[in-house]
Structure 1
Amino acid sequence: MNQLVRMSQVGEADAIAEPSAELRVPFAQSGAFVCKFIIGEPNDRAVCCGAPAPDGKSWCAFHRRIVFEPARPGRLR
């Protein structure tokens, strides 16, 4: 079932804090269940977020909101 959500309702209620910079790890050393969102330039010395990524996903909740754009009402896919 589709739900109509006003854009004014999106934002503060769904605010998620940015993960700490202390969690960042080199991409080559990131393991399973770690956010793989690359911070800065994607090169051979890339650093990823490193925050916990639940359910085996590739990104933490904060970066998942950046990577995926929420569906807008009336938009065809």
Structure 2
Amino acid sequence: MNQLVRMSQISEADPIAEPSSKLRVPFAQSGAFVCKFIIGEPNDQAVCCGAPVADGKSWCAFHRRIVFEPARPGRLR
């Protein structure tokens, strides 16, 4: 049986501040431990976020929340 979940019952994740625009770097010059989220149009002059990342991730915590959709509550069994 499906169970309804009210939106008020779903807690919002803790807000994460957007990284500073001062960290942005050209994509071609981005290093191994910086966010690769492309700001603006993806072309040959692409600029990425450049914020530090951990554990070999491709995106910082702020941009991971944009790229990945949070899991929806499932059915209770």
> TM-score, normalised to structure 2's length?
0.82
Could you report, residue by residue, the CA deviation over 1:29-52 in whole angstroms, capped at 9, with x for unpaired residues? 001010000000000000000000
**% identical aligned pairs:** 84
For residue 65 of structure 2, give the secondary structure of its aligned residue in structure 1: helix
Relative contact order (alpha carbons < 8 A, sep ≥ 6): 1 or 2 greater? 2
Counterpart for residue 3 of structure 1: none
Task: Show the counterpart of 1:27.
Answer: 27
Partner of 1:50: 50
| 2:12 match | 10
**One-letter identity of the residue aligned with 2:54:** P
Structure exhibiting the larger radius of gyration computed from Cα positions: 2
Letter in 1 for 2:17: A
Distance 1:73 1:21 in 2: 34
Runs of 4+ in 1 over 2 A off after TM superposition: none
Q: State the Cα RMSD in Å.
A: 1.6
5+ residue gaps, structure 2, are 1-8
Q: In 2, Cα distance between the equivalents of 1:18 and 1:44?
A: 24
Task: Supply the AA of the counterpart residue of 2:12.
Answer: V
- Superposed, 1:56-75 pairs within 5 Å as 56-74=56-74
Deviation of 1:74 (Å): 1.6
TM-score (norm 1): 0.82
